[in-house]
Amino acid sequence: MSLIVKNLNFKYKEKEILKDINLEFQKGKMYAILGRNGAGKSTFLKSIAKILKPKGEIIFYENIDNLSVKEFAKKIAFLSQIQNNSSLSVYEFVMLGRKPHFRFLPKLTDKKTVERVLEKLNLKEKKKIPLNSLSGGERQRAAIARILAQNTEVILLDEPTNNLDIKYQIEIIKFLREIKEDKIIISVIHDINLALKYFDEYIFLKNGKIINKGNQEMVNE
Ligand SMILES: Nc1ncnc2c1ncn2[C@@H]1O[C@H](COP(=O)(O)OP(=O)(O)OP(=O)(O)O)[C@@H](O)[C@H]1O
């Protein structure tokens, strides 16, 4: 399974934000997208998540162009930077991630998946609490839990470690490593040290262009 991005270009009005991005992502790898504020990192993720309509091609191993929203959500999950203020309980909120997988009511597998991610992200005790009364860090963990519950082949994360203390930053990245085997994980991340230590590949963007990319082996040389 791979995801290929070919000649990706994106403009907001007349302003060019992404300029001729060409990349190939492979299954089993975690990719860090690095770069300064305004470099185009979120725009890049939103382009893959089909939230924006860029020029160029995004080629998935199978044709995803004509998928319904629900079918698309079984393949690609996207964690945005926007914090959710829902009054749903943590459990209900994380169950939303399972929505593409069931018709009317959650099945046993959906419930088990939600319980597993809640356990993994240390949110079990909070599962009945409304999301909007959690701390910023807990809310971020719940948002990540929802994405993980979605159980997609491609996971796109826009600064998943925002609001988290270093213990949780590392735990979450390590957990992503545990599940990466049959997935493509692409994450915008601000902490360059975390990126170089825990991600397989890194891609630097500047003014909408790739200015550098590499992998773990190059870092350790
Ligand atoms: N809706 C919009 N309309 C116009 N310009 C936008 C819009 N959204 C983003 N931009 C501009 O596009 C550029 C790239 O934004 P983007 O959010 O992709 O950057 P980023 O690398 O993710 O930055 P950050 O690290 O601050 O999140 C910025 O100059 C931003 O001001």
> What ipTM did this prediction achieve?
0.95
Q: How far apart are CA 42 and CA 61, in angstroms?
A: 23
For the stretch 115-136, pLDDT in tens is 999 999 999 999 999 999 998 8
pLDDT at 157: 96
pLDDT at 136: 87
pLDDT band at 218 (very low <50, low <70, confident <90, very high): low
For the stretch 140-151, pLDDT in tens is 999 999 999 999
**Which is nearest to 112 in space by CA: 95, 89, 88?**
95
For the stretch 15-37, pLDDT in tens is 999 999 999 999 999 999 999 99
Q: How far apart are CA 170 and CA 132, in angstroms?
A: 24
Q: Kindly report the CATH number assigned to the domain that includes residue 207.
A: 3.40.50.300
Ligand 1 pocket: which of 21, 41, 161 to mutate (most atoms within 8 A of CB) = 41
Q: Is the CB–ligand 1 distance for residue 97 below 6 Å?
A: no
Beta-carbon contacts of 99 under 8 Å, excluding residues fewer than 6 positions away, are: 70, 73
For the stretch 153-211, pLDDT in tens is 999 999 999 888 888 899 889 989 989 999 999 999 998 889 999 999 999 999 999 99
Q: Is the CB–ligand 1 distance for residue 187 below 6 Å?
A: no
Place of tokens 């998928």: 67
Phi (first) and psi of residue 58, to 5 degrees: -125, 110
Q: Could you tell me the distance, in angstroms and rounded to a whole number, from the CA of residue 75 to the centre of ligand 1?
A: 25
pLDDT at 154: 95
- Other CB atoms within a 10 A radius of the CB of residue 109 amount to 12
* Residue 88 belongs to domain spanning: 2-220
Q: Is the CB–ligand 1 distance for residue 41 below 6 Å?
A: yes
The total of structural domains in the chain comes to 1
Q: Is the CB–ligand 1 distance for residue 40 below 6 Å?
A: yes
Q: Could you tell me the distance, in angstroms and rounded to a whole number, from the CA of residue 118 to the centre of ligand 1?
A: 32
| DSSP one-letter code for 83 | P
Encode 132-152: b = buried (16+ Cβ within 10 Å), e = exposed.
Answer: eebeebbbbbbbbbbbbbbbb
**Nearest residue by C-alpha to atom 25 in ligand 1:** 37
Q: Is the CB–ligand 1 distance for residue 46 below 6 Å?
A: no
Q: Is the CB–ligand 1 distance for residue 37 below 6 Å?
A: yes
The burial of 8, by beta-carbon neighbours within 10 Å (0-12 exposed, 13-18 middle, 19 or more buried), is given as buried
pLDDT at 92: 96
C-alpha distances (whole Å) from 201 to each of 21, 31, 34, 216, 218 are 16, 5, 11, 6, 10
**How far from the centroid of its chain's Cα atoms is residue 159's Cα?**
8
Residue 44 CA: which ligand 1 atom is closest?
18
Asked if the model's pLDDT at residue 104 lies above 70, the reply is yes
Helices (H), 85-135: 90-95, 108-120
pLDDT at 199: 95
Q: Could you tell me the distance, in angstroms and rounded to a whole number, from the CA of residue 204 to the centre of ligand 1?
A: 15
Residue 36 CA: which ligand 1 atom is closest?
25
**Nearest residue by C-alpha to atom 26 in ligand 1:** 37
pLDDT at 162: 85
What is the average per-residue pLDDT within 88-101? 96
Q: What does pLDDT average to over the chain?
A: 91
